[in-house]
Amino acid sequence: MLEGVRVLACGGRDAVTLCATLLERAGATVDVCAKDPVDYDVIVVSSDVDRAAGWRSSGEAIVCDITATGPQDSRAGTPWSDAHIQAMSGLMDTTGFAQGAPARIGVAFTEVSAALYASAAIAAAVRVKRRRGIVQNIDVTLSGCAASALTTFLPAAFAGRTAGRVGNRHPACAPWNAYRTCDGWILICTSTEAQWCKLRQEARVPQLDDARFATLGDRVRHADELDALIESWTATLATDACTRICERIGVAAGPIVGIGELSREPNFRMRHAEAAQAIETGGIDADTYKQVSIFQTSALSRTPAIAKPQTGECGGPLAGVKVIEIGQYTTAPLVGKHLAALGAKVVKIEPPEGEVARSWLPGQGGTSYFFALNNTDKETIALDLKQESDRAHLRTLLADADVLVENLRPGALAKLGFTREALGAINPRLVYCSISGFGIASAYPSRPAFDTVIQAMGGLMDLTRGEGAPVKIGASGADILGGQAALFAIVARLATRSEEADEAGTFIEIAMQDVAAWCALFAAGRERPRGQALACLDGHVWVERDITDAERACCIALTRKEAAARLGGATPVARVDELLQDGDFLADVLSAARDANGAFWPVLKVPYRLSKTPASVRAVPGAPHRIRRVRPATAPAPVPEDRPA
């Protein structure tokens, strides 16, 4: 993928370390902290932490600078930590239980996110350098990465509302929570009425038939009572038994796996046997995470490839690339959004009724803000892939595509006739990326997976604690990180690809549990940072040092601003709705796009800036274009031979 690319990583941030690991995994040769920056293709630095380590004017090398905030931010230049950025950005305020304090995400989420976006941006810049001879600088900010993770919370802010913490619940679905079992915890997530009915019948708790739980809205309003009743059932079962029951009835569920138990988790052990053995033998250290790969690549098929005609390119780094996206919600749409921002033509395939997320509230003009944030700059087409005519249209789209990315359940696309071999026959050069919860080769081939379940089974929830109990990352952390891993793998594959050569197609597999475990093991192999959120009159402040009882008592009588000034080094924990009054957020993160009707939409800038071929967010798609089905023409009546035609 990136073979032949020489990288120098010289920065103190975790993001620089992780970026180097990712680039090396993709085939690059990586050196760390060499004194002479000569003869490198890429240099990765963190100038706010290591001010003397930047070679922005190197001339021949792509220089990627990963910092806490952007150069135009009023807080620029300060080496803010990941936890400080979590506090400033609203991420911290979305994590934790509703009645408790904000919780720091247990992995350095913004550092990890910055590493993934930086790696993708570097791969894009390598492509531009090789194809156009352009060398450029890249800036990546932790604050921008944090904002990019808020797509489930910003819609409420756009509508003038406050989105509070929900712990392990879902704001619009119930039952959806962590429940105690007789030997641990289990996450249970229902998203449809059918799933709720099956769970209710299986639990056999008479009170669940009560009118309080008749509709989804009723269940959300009475979530406290509902959760208590569900737990009265789960508490009688072992975690494994409860999980098997949920799998049998098609309800997403899974145990909260402790980081020390990860090596014994069946799917992790199946997919990463060597890492599991190393953990059991020597425990978790600073390099353990490197034994877990966040993506797998293999040949798409045995079909010979044919060189693609090369066209003149201008614009974004991926100009001339055609992408087909089949997916919904977060993971595949996130990939498509960034590929489009980088200049690719992205065609999103939606079901005939449109993606479900289009109708989520709030929004405008019949489209949700959530959908708009995740699907900018795409062409959208409605296809019913159960119909042969629509499958034929998809085959036509794929014939000259460069990339297919999807997040359907494993095997779903193959059942429609689009196996890897079939895709290779349609387009031997195709880069096909499949994103799923547990992977294609899985210990759970029939288990559905949601973000919350993957957080639980990947170790993220065990490391993130609210009031001492495991709690999910407020943002859809597993979905987002899985999408970012797919983005990097795809762009890295495109970076050094020659359009003139007969290069075979590639299959890229992303298992979100792999990515979650990679992040969790990285965090577990390092010293846990100190810090706590202290209550104030109008919220909380984050402090990264030990606090006395007197200081804690003092904060209760102060505003966040006053407490931050009094304590020194404390950071106010911002609410998401407050970001819309923050000058730095408005200038550096928020942007506006238009739809086909000329209406304006609030959207987010990408958190990476390429100096000469920038990525850009421009438009929000309208309703999906519907393909007109053509009925077979009726055969003309035969003309008798004794008559003129």
Catalytic residue set: 479
Structure-token pair, residue 179: 């429940």
C-alpha of 271 from chain center: 21
Helices 109-132 and 14-25 sit at what angle, rounded to 10 degrees?
50
Nearest to 366 by CA among 377, 375, 354: 354
Contact 439, 513 (CB under 8 A): yes
Query: Which helix (DSSP H) or strand (DSSP E) does residue 572 occupy?
Result: strand 571-572
> How far is residue 615's CA from residue 82's CA, in Å, rounded to a whole number?
25
* Start-end of H helices in 26-98: 82-89
Secondary structure class of 534 (helix, strand, coil): strand
Strands 506-511 and 571-572: unpaired
Radius of gyration of the chain (CA): 25
CB count within 10 Å of CB 599 equals: 13
**What letter represents residue 586's amino acid?**
L
DSSP string, 307-336: PPPP----SSTTTT-EEEEE--SSHHHHHH
Residues 257 and 463: their CA atoms lie apart, in Å, by 10
For residue 347, give both structure tokens: 């065609």
Backbone angles phi, psi at 6, to 5 degrees: -100, 130
Cis peptide before 362 (omega within 30 of 0): yes
Q: Which residues of 134-151 are buried (b: 16+ CB within 10 A; e: fewer)?
A: ebbbbbbbbbbbbbbbbb
Give the amino acid at 20: A
In angstroms, the Cα distances linking 162 to 111, 452, 574, 575, 578 are 26, 22, 12, 8, 9
Task: Tell which phi-psi region holds residue 343, choosing left (phi > 0), alpha (psi between -120 and 50) or beta.
Answer: left
Alpha-carbon dihedral 53, 56, 60, 63, rounded to 10 degrees: 80
CA 565/CA 31 separation, integer angstroms: 42
For residue 566, count other CB atoms closer than 10 A to its CB: 13
In the numeric block, which tokens belong to residue 513? 């549990």
Give the pair of three-digit tokens for residue 56: 């922005």
Burial of 270 (0-12, 13-18, 19+ CB in 10 A): middle
Rounded Cα distance between 470 and 96, Å, is 9
Q: How far is CA 260 from CA 108, 265, 528, in A?
A: 18, 10, 15
